Amino acid sequence: MPEATASVDRTLVRTGAHGLVALGLASLADGEVRPAAVVRPQSYADATGSGQWWIASDLDEAALGGPLPEEHVLGVGGASLTLAGLQLPAPAERGLDVGAGCGIQALRARAHVGHVVATDISPRALAFTRLNALLNGVDGIETRHGSLFEPVAGETFDRIVSNPPFVITPRVAGVPAYEYRDGGMVGDDLVAAFVSGVGAHLAPGGVAQLLGNWETRDGVAGLDRARAWVEASPVPLDAWVVEREALDPLSYAELWVRDGGTLAGTPGFARLVDAWLDDFGARGVTEVGFGYLLLRRPAAGPPTLARYERLHAALPGDGVGAHLAASLDAHDRLARLDDGGLAASVLVVAPDVTEARHHLPGEEHPAVIELRQGGGFGRSLSIDPGLAALVGACDGDLPVGVLIDAIADLMGVDADALRADLLPRVRELLFTGFLRFA
């Protein structure tokens, strides 16, 4: 709300009304200070602790009372919080935030990374990134202007994070090109370009994490197209890609038209939706997936991780970044273990795992045995009695092979056959966090 200049000067003693104007956060007219930005508290939490930041950004559509300007700098939204929670909590020396926006990812990365370079095509976004670092007393964040990897040509990083402007937008007149969400490319080409270029900027062992959209075109699933991007990378990459949601073209169009502040029933809504549908139709798009990509440049040797999966459910909460880090560690350890080494390993059940057994009325044996994960991605798995017995016996005492032999004896089945059946599934339970190495 506008306030009298004298009142602002009394309240913000050091900055004053003219200081707000100099910072680009307000304007002066007729003795009043009119805000050009909003500053909100934003709590955060990860495996290392919790706290609160103050985050400045441009006024949203509720404050403006209409559609956003194309140069709008977005505050912290649901996607931003998701990516912040996905960031690996392991320490690293150099980090890069591509498409920094208001700077929330750079702030989160700086908690674990010694120095972070934040890039954006918007000078105003970079100004907000610098302001938010100052507001929260965070040093070690350097801003650079430019698109994608242009500002860091020839440089490599241990950690790269990006909430890029991945929203698929028609390239036709009359459709706003919002800088915070539209990278200026056709379809999902921006995410494809990121995947193609990121490997050259990852140090050996370095990890990139980003959000993205991918189109299902002419019968080719979006996840399969994402796999093709990774496989075509000039630098070989490990990949773990998770699709969390998929929308039909109409739902996708309506979502992003509303996001820009044009509501259903208002002038221009139907015209914008039609532009999206025409754009999708021209490319044969039948579905748009949204999800997360984790890409890693192997420290040595060829890639060993290629995982593409659909998990259409909400994340259970904080701590997913720590779960991702633990999964990568488990994968690397498993890659060094043959079946004999795995059989000799001692395992324990993760503390967030529970088991549910469902019985038909009057039946002694369960019809369904289910493992449920309270953390991580909140997975739920139906398992058979043999695997249930093995998981239940993993208490950090005996090796897996000894347990399987005992279970085979109890069940009256061949021990070698049971090993061949269970060990691949034990690998999966270790990667997904149901089991851990003792």
> What is the mean predicted confidence (pLDDT) over 181-208?
94
- pLDDT category, 61, cuts 50, 70, 90? confident
Which neighbouring-strand residues pair with 175? none
- pLDDT category, 185, cuts 50, 70, 90? confident
> What is the mean predicted confidence (pLDDT) over 109-115?
96
pLDDT at 77 over 90: no
> By mean pLDDT, which of 34-48, 340-354, 385-399 is the weakest?
34-48
pLDDT digits (tens, 9 = 90+) for 144-159: 999 999 999 999 999 9
Going by their DSSP bridges, the two strands 202-217 and 157-162 should be labelled as: parallel
pLDDT digits (tens, 9 = 90+) for 375-423: 999 999 999 999 999 999 999 999 999 999 999 999 999 999 999 999 9
pLDDT at 351 over 70: yes
pLDDT digits (tens, 9 = 90+) for 329-344: 999 999 999 999 999 9
- pLDDT category, 17, cuts 50, 70, 90? very high
Query: Number of helices and strands (H, E) in the chain?
Result: 15, 19
Q: Sheet holding 141-145: strands in order across? A: 141-145, 113-120, 92-98, 157-162, 202-217, 285-296, 238-247, 306-310
In a domain? residue 309: no
> What is the mean predicted confidence (pLDDT) over 111-130?
95
Do 121 and 143 contact (CB within 8 A), yes or no? no
- Residues 7, 58, single domain; the answer is no
- Residues 176, 110, single domain; the answer is yes
- Residues 143, 73, single domain; the answer is yes
| CATH assignment at residue 424 | 3.90.930
- Residues 373, 345, single domain; the answer is yes
In a domain? residue 325: no
The pLDDT value recorded for residue 229 is: 97
In a domain? residue 168: yes
What's the mean per-residue pLDDT of the chain?
Answer: 94
pTM score, whole prediction: 0.93
Domain count, the chain: 3
- Residues 270, 289, single domain; the answer is yes
- pLDDT category, 63, cuts 50, 70, 90? confident
- Residues 228, 342, single domain; the answer is no
In a domain? residue 326: no
The pLDDT value recorded for residue 321 is: 94
- Residues 187, 258, single domain; the answer is yes
pLDDT at 7 over 80: yes
- pLDDT category, 178, cuts 50, 70, 90? confident
- Residues 247, 381, single domain; the answer is no
In a domain? residue 31: yes
The percent of residues in the chain predicted with pLDDT above 90, rounded, is 81
- Residues 378, 294, single domain; the answer is no
> What is the mean predicted confidence (pLDDT) over 223-240?
97
Domain boundary among 286, 303, 320: 303
Q: Which amino acid type is present at position 345?
A: S
Do 225 and 214 contact (CB within 8 A), yes or no? yes
Which neighbouring-strand residues pair with 160? 96, 208
Domain boundary among 303, 324, 343: 303
How far is Cα 286 from Cα 219, in angstroms, rounded to an integer? 8
- Residues 3, 81, single domain; the answer is no
In terms of residue numbers, what domain contains 410?
Answer: 334-437
- pLDDT category, 47, cuts 50, 70, 90? low
> What is the mean predicted confidence (pLDDT) over 57-76?
85
The pLDDT value recorded for residue 183 is: 83
In a domain? residue 362: yes
Do 210 and 194 contact (CB within 8 A), yes or no? yes
The pLDDT value recorded for residue 352 is: 95
In a domain? residue 344: yes
Cβ-based neighbours of 428, under 8 Å, separated by 6 or more: none
Q: Determine phi and psi for 149, rounding to 5 degrees.
A: -100, 5
Q: Determine phi and psi for 59, rounding to 5 degrees.
A: -60, 140
In a domain? residue 59: yes
The percent of residues in the chain predicted with pLDDT above 70, rounded, is 99
| CATH assignment at residue 244 | 3.40.50.150
pLDDT digits (tens, 9 = 90+) for 232-266: 999 999 999 999 999 999 999 999 999 887 888 88
pLDDT digits (tens, 9 = 90+) for 159-168: 999 998 889 9
- Residues 83, 146, single domain; the answer is yes
Report in angstroms the alpha-carbon separations of 4 from 10, 32, 187, 395.
10, 4, 47, 67
- Residues 419, 363, single domain; the answer is yes
